Amino acid sequence: MLSKVMTSALRATAALALVAGLSTNAMAQTAEGYWQGIQKNGTLRCGAAVAPPYVMRDPATGDYSGFFADLCREFAEVLKVKPEFVDTTWDNIVAGLQAGKWDVSLALNRTPARAMAVQFSIPAMEYQISLAYNKDNPKIPAGATSVADIDKADVTLAVMSGTAQDKAISAAISNATILRLPGNDETRLAVVSRRADILVDASDTNQLFTQSNPDWAVALNPTPALAKQGVAFGLPHGLSAADVEVVNIFLEERVATGHVEELIRKAVDEVLKTAN
What is the C-alpha separation between 206 and 198, in angstroms, rounded? 11
pLDDT at 32: 76
pLDDT surpassing 60 at residue 135 = yes
For the stretch 160-177, pLDDT in tens is 999 989 999 999 999 999
Task: Specify the CATH class of 34-125+229-275 in words.
Answer: alpha beta
CATH 3.40.190.10-classified regions of the chain:
34-125+229-275, 127-228
For the stretch 31-79, pLDDT in tens is 579 999 999 999 999 999 999 899 999 999 999 999 999 999 999 999 9
DSSP string across 132-188: EEETT-TTS-TT--SHHHH--TT-EEEEETTSHHHHHHHHH-SSSEEEEESSHHHHH
Q: Which CATH superfamily is domain 127-228 in?
A: Periplasmic binding protein-like II (3.40.190.10)
> Is 0.85 topped by the overall pTM?
no
**Is residue 75 a contact partner of residue 250, using CB atoms and an 8 Å limit?**
yes
